Structure 1
């Protein structure tokens, strides 16, 4: 309660400071919580000025009072992945405004201050009866519905307006811009005019007032009053109104705030934590305590969720637990979702879809690292007695082996527990584990100590023992059996860990070691889950010497700036024919003078092992003599990265294409020569690749670049005067990036480039033909979210990104996902800084990988775009 109290008081304090235009007092920088603070700097503002990052940092840090940093970070990223109006619909009971207004306002202020815009709809509750009594009106109900005559409607309307104003005023005092919307959203017909009089049945929802409020940076605060076409006000049930809003906006969360804080089990008297409708609905309705209002509520929620994406869920909670429900795994109230029916299988032939099984097993760390293949594990299952648990799409797969041959202790082992991001977020993992506990009285499992979901595994265990980076968990064991199991674990590993720190696909941790393997270079799996997570821990801490050839251009200058701040890379020389003899600017580690490197000097440097990595920042067609000179030295150990297009079409197998998000990172790490992708090509491939198996036809990329992409050599394409108020198309067919993307993706694309009057940044609008009626916009966005989960330099946005927001940022934003009415084409928009992630930043990623450093080492986190 003290933590909760501090959160509420802090929210009020932040609101007051924001209203006065003062900066919230905090010394924490964005590095404490890099994702939330940086990404939310892209979100809404109040008072028409951006909120300070320190204010957001304070809010997010205070959220950690109710959940771990990784939980809050992940759910923030999840909620901001959709357009603002698709975050949540929150239905507030009228009694809460009367009795818990400060707490309600504080909770909504927190959401606002982290850039989240719930659609808030409130009822009137018991206040109406009090006012009716004052007015001398006797309340009348028929079938549980309030009969609303003209006098009652007068009181209802007055009550709604008063309650709405109270909530809006409380929010405004906390620095939150809130907009009262008391009419114009719901249209209705009379439910039964003779019977109920002015009671309505909603027949339409006008989204415009709500969207306009959010677009202007205001929280929309709605009443559940509806209107007929002639303008007659009608009273409608607030729960029904909230459901209709949810059907229209399809939010990730639908939240009902009530005094009980959830649904109470009539048999045990305990609050129900979660309900998986597909699995539990029919049995739940047969329970003797599920009747009257409870049964109606469950049926209404069931009907609502049938028409929404499976990612949507309903939460019934107390107002004080709103943040805990939204930002922690455990939640606080009752979470209701469709989910899937759980399926048990005891033999491989029970799996009717082998692709789904393989996709689930690809989440396993042993398989991802190359230590184990899917085929060999499936062969192993044929020789043992096992039972598997999973939902229909295998978002979660658990495999229990009856007896582990590696130990003499006769206890079943949870051999695999593999979950996608969706499985964790929707608590399918809890359902699976509960099913396992019903079948097994005792069980043990092993987890890597860096696993981001470690606290969840602790919550499921009765005992644990840690050694050598792994933790042994168990339940249902007597003391002697547990001691035997610990002894086996202490002497030698009883089995590989269930998961690594990024295994869940939900929370990307900062530490991970991966072994090398020689799998195929490119990844286009059947599973949407990212099979190629970033390498965030390096094996090398020694300095590396870099020789940069062609340092005059924009890309070379940006790379010099990155190397200057890198903890391990040092420039040993820079070569530029035009700048030879001049002092290198923008590099502070050493005094370096430009040279004009000749073949003989390259040979000498390579023979003397004075360079660890050569970077070629040269125009197309110029690189080969330098590469040949380096390779002519017998026993050459240095690495080469070419930023030109000269080796992007290599067929010899000597060059590796360096796009880490789509090419096996271990292949890059083991490479000697890397061809750095083009800027347009990077954006286009990242925009198209996740949908490759759904494409039917020719994708077309309409690209517009700032004039820095035309280089420093004067031409019309970098002539600012010529470009002013102009858009210049060029190379309309057979552009080299068209060939590059087609070659790398293994499918033909069309590319239409243009240059505009801004300096740096690219916008690529990609029209992708799809197999008819195969995917919705939400499906497609989820595919991209899953595919790029854990990628720090890729943001998936529900909205089309803007080129002005990407300039100077070290990443790619992919968004839009607009599907046409025929459902056979989607338009995806990608933005990228052509000088950074399109060239220099990507080069640094590849340099880090080949030298054994963390992939993101030296890439400034304060200018990484995040969703």
Structure 2
């Protein structure tokens, strides 16, 4: 990912600098080692095509934050779930270079959209030249044998044209002109060779992406007997979307979006849940537009709420995908926006508490949710939010300045990515003609706030923003009051009382805002996320363990047996059904084989407080759905030990790594995704150095064979492992994606299996962007993990034999090379304990408000 922030209008200069600094990391293809003239020419084409796409990106993107945020968002799902892009036939004829350039950019940043194109204009042109007038019924082209021969020829020609253009730009693309869509006749007598899609074969598309090639599809379908049928490309794109459930469905057209027939302006965003009924009443909302939105609404109702549809011009593809403002028309289900004027108006107080826990002052422990809510009881305020409170804004009256103050503006990642923030701010602006608010200078969304303000003033690491003030006197009063309040809450980083301050209005805002840069020194900073060592709850909780046969399940059973408050009530295993549970002494438990209906009944009767899913990857969803659909009080907690929800973008699941993630967020979550074993150790070992890393850390990981599970394979065959080390999944391992997505840093991970039973060792090489000594780095780690009972920082490289059976992570070595631009860190973890069951127990304790370390044996805890 390009680490460049755009701060002024001189973007071409910055583009050149970015390309120069990126050097071989970004632009060197695999063929660079070849000495042949033809390969050198290929390299030159690849270099300049990639160079042009990066310049194109830099000319479209508004900020570094947006690029990084959206890349992380899009890479949080499997590659085939990124986007489905439907290309109109006219675009291939009229805008092929632009289309190829946009798709090349996505390819070069590691994104693989599924591209499906039409060919309507080309078909009409050929038929017209042959004196054949196209025939339509209800907007559907009648496709007889002669027309079908033209349709097939056009599709093959246009597909080849697009694939060829992409290959010339260094993009590996695969033409897929058949074998994807199965269909029956839509109405053979009426439309002849027109198909109604009955099924989608994913295999050719998935094979293309796994081979590193963009899949380029036509909308031709086949009957079971092999007859080719013509299918509308929009319909085909919708069917693809239903199968792959992508984050984005993109329709490229010449208009670049939906046009409001009354104003002639492009509609920026349509939130269907909020606006659809009102749109139906608009005079301009009719005919083709109405049908289009109706079809899109029907499609989105069958997709996750995180999915959206964009209708855009081909030149705006990057801007639509990678900026908050977008470019064309974005259509999503969204949520209805609600306002509240009292605490009693909040019908779901847990959602309110979860939203407030996003506030840095609350999450750091400086204040509490209860204290803030008590202040709201006597204050005059108006709160704004969407239904799940992905965004919460609270506006208070300010008697000192007379200008209302935006006291809280708290948004989740999903709230920012789905532009709920813009909708909330627009609602606030309708109600308040003038407003003031304060943001930390290092807030990653500062640029967004500048875009909403008429002016700003900065001091002591904070920025005062405002809009709607009428005079210099009013602004002076705002600044004076802000300065007084700022003096009492100076930041440790920006606390120098002699620090320069700037005043900005719209005319000079850019020179103040996006030009400010502050460098944080390497300082001893206490752990920003200390453990919850004491829990307030002592009430016993009932635990159901689904999938208890594996090593992790057995370890968790043993720990629950020693836990002061947890009691196992149900243990489910298909293979062990009817047998007595061993290793549990609190009660006699017989293994059952719980089915979906059994789980629904238990949940409806509130018979389980904590559901633990110890299932293989890809199996958990039906059980989770059953719990959510069962009714009951809805107070039960769900902990998933698989990878199924570690990349959740809905905001419903919280990633449960307490030492790195917000403990308050874990404590208030209903659904917690337990991290992977490799991923836990790697993140803990890398995270303190993320601000100082100059490139991709490389993780050489070796696990004992218990990590391969109980199902027989070469990776847990002790004879095969004897005097052996087995490398596997050396690229694109799921833990590689997990580590990278959580750290916000691209990480290379190379796993191996060794002959010992349990325990993992990581040797991690991290390039540094500034010179640091081993002592500096060790101090950084000690300060970051101060108070963490399950993390030990050592000056020596930890040994895997010492971690087996221990409930923590040891990080050490901190070997710095002579140039002081690279450090090697070694981390060890027991994959069955802190890598799985111990971490699960931590998450249960947090979610149930117990002592975080309850049930974790003292004699096994590693202490620093």
TM-score (norm 2): 0.61
Structure 2: state its 5+ residue gaps.
Answer: 1-8, 35-42, 496-518, 535-540, 574-580, 583-613, 629-639, 662-672, 683-696, 704-732, 739-750, 754-758, 767-773, 794-810, 827-864
Offset of 1:439 from its aligned partner?
A: 1.3
Gap change, CA 1:455 and 1:106, over 3 Å in 2: same
1:419-460 deviation digits (Å, cap 9, x = unpaired): 000000000011111111111111111111111001111111
Q: 1:7 to 1:469 in 2, by over 3 A?
A: closer
1:323-368 deviation per Cα after TM superposition (whole angstroms, max 9, x unaligned): 1111122211111111100111111111111110000000111211
- Does the residue aligned with 1:835 lie in a helix, a strand or coil? strand
Change (3 A) 1:311 1:7: farther
Match of 1:357 among 321, 343, 352: 352
The question of 1:428 aligning with 2:354 is answered no
SS in 2 for 1:836: strand
Shift of 1:72: 1.2
CA contact 1:488–1:494 (8 Å) conserved in 2: no
Contact 1:367 1:374 in 2 (8 A): yes
State how far apart, in whole Å, the 2-side matches of 1:741 and 1:457 are: 52
Tell me, in whole angstroms, the C-alpha distance in 2 between the residues paired with 1:864 and 1:242.
47
Structure-2 residue corresponding to 1:220: 215
Q: Which residue of 1 aligns with 2:648?
A: 782
- Which of 459, 483, 489 is equivalent to 2:482? 489
The aligned counterpart of 1:379 is 374
2-side partners of 1:733 and 1:850: how far apart? 29
The one of 656, 666, 685 aligned to 2:530:
666
Instruction: Name which of 228, 231, 237 aligns with 1:233.
Output: 228
Secondary structure, aligned partner of 1:418: strand
Cα separation, partners in 2 of 1:744 and 1:666, compared to 1, 3 Å: farther
Aligned to 2:113: 118
CA contact (8 A) 1:132 1:139 kept: yes
Contact 2:764-2:825 within 8 A present in 1 as well = no
Are residue 343 (structure 1) and residue 338 (structure 2) matched? yes
> Does the aligned pair in 2 maintain the 1:443–1:475 contact within 8 Å?
yes
Question: Residue 700 of structure 2 aligns to a residue in which SS?
Answer: coil
Could you say what secondary structure the match of 2:309 adopts?
strand
Contact 2:75 2:111 in 1 (8 A): yes
2:530 alignment partner, SS class: helix
| Residue 760 of structure 2, aligned match among 831, 834, 838 | 834
Matched, 1:696 2:547: no
- Contact conserved, 1:147 with 1:196, CA < 8 A, in 2? yes
**Alignment partner for residue 317 of structure 2, among 322, 326, 331?**
322
What's 1:633 paired with?
Answer: none
Alpha-carbon contact 1:702-1:766 (below 8 Å) kept: no
**2:435 match:** 443
Q: What is the alpha-carbon distance in structure 2 between the residues aligned to residue 145 and residue 10 of structure 1?
A: 48
Distance in 1 separating the partners of 2:401 and 2:445: 27
Q: CA-to-partner distance for each residue in 1:705-728, whole Å, 9 max, x for gaps?
A: xxxxxxxxxxxxxxxxxxxxxxxx
Summarize the Cα distance change of 1:331–1:283 in structure 2 as closer, same or farther, 3 Å threshold: same
Give the whole-Å Cα distance in 2 for the aligned partners of 1:195 and 1:2: 59
Corresponding position: 1:849 with 2:844: no
Partner of 2:159: helix, strand, or coil? helix
* Structure-1 residue corresponding to 2:102: 107
Is the aligned partner of 1:66 residue 2:60? yes
Q: Is the 8 A contact 1:104 1:319 kept in 2?
A: yes
Mean Cα deviation higher: 186-195 or 114-123: 186-195
For residues 16-43 of structure 1, what are the alpha-carbon distances to aligned partners after superposition, in whole Å with 9 as ceiling and x for unaligned?
976782289xxxxxxxxxxxxxxxxxxx
Q: Structure 1: how far apart are the matches of 2:783 and 2:659? A: 15
Of residues 398, 406, 410, the one that matches 1:404 is: 398
- Gaps in structure 1 of 5+ consecutive residues: 25-48, 502-510, 514-535, 543-657, 672-692, 705-731, 753-763, 818-829
Q: Is the partner of 1:491 in helix, strand or coil?
A: helix
Could you state the TM-score of these two structures normalised by the residue count of structure 1? 0.61
What SS does the aligned partner of 1:117 have? coil
Instruction: Report the Cα distance in structure 1 between the residues aligned to 2:273 and 2:384, rounded to whole angstroms.
Output: 15
CA 312–441 in structure 1, closer or farther in 2 if over 3 Å, else same: same
**Quick check: 1:263–1:334 contact (8 Å CA) kept in 2?**
yes
Does the 8 Å contact 1:83/1:798 carry over to 2?
no
SS for the counterpart of 1:330 is coil
Q: Superposed, which structure 2 residues align to 1:580-729 within 5 Å?
A: 665-667=529-531, 696-697=544-545, 700=548, 702=550
Q: Match for residue 469 of structure 2?
A: 477
**Aligned partner (choices 140, 149, 166) of residue 145 of structure 1:** 140
Is structure 2 residue 255 aligned with structure 1 residue 255?
no
Q: Would you say the 8 A contact 2:80–2:246 is kept in 1? A: yes
Q: Quote the offset at 1:121 in angstroms.
A: 0.1
For 1:790 and 1:267, the matched residues in 2 are separated by 52
Cα–Cα, structure 1 residues 81 and 291, in superposed 2: closer, same or farther, change >3 Å?
A: same
1: CA distance, partners of 2:545 / 2:616: 13
CA contact under 8 A between 2:524 and 2:779: conserved in structure 1?
no
Aligned to 1:463: 455
Determine the C-alpha separation between the residues in 1 that align with 2:114 and 2:374: 52
Tell me which residue corresponds to 1:77: 72
User: How many residue pairs were aligned?
Assistant: 611
Distance 2:451 2:260 in 1: 22
Q: What are the superposed Cα offsets for residues 483-515 of structure 1, whole Å, 9 maximum, x if unpaired? A: 221222233349989xx99xxxxxxxxx999xx
Q: Is the contact between residue 815 and residue 823 of structure 2 (CA under 8 Å) also seen in structure 1?
A: no
Say if 1:2 and 1:347 are closer, same or farther in 2 by CA, change over 3 A.
closer
- Out of 406, 409, 412, the residue aligned to residue 417 of structure 1 is 409
- 1:501-546 Cα offsets, whole Å, 9 max, x none, are 9xxxxxxxxx999xxxxxxxxxxxxxxxxxxxxxx9677369xxxx
TM-fit CA distance, 1:114? 1.4
Aligned position for 1:207: 202
Tell whether the 8 Å contact from 1:462 to 1:475 is kept in structure 2 after alignment. yes
Query: C-alpha distance in 1, partners of 2:328/2:228?
Result: 34
Change (3 A) 1:153 1:59: closer
2:15–2:55 CA contact under 8 A, matched in 1: no
CA positional deviation for 1:396: 0.5
Partner Cα separation in structure 2 for residue 239 and residue 778 of structure 1? 31
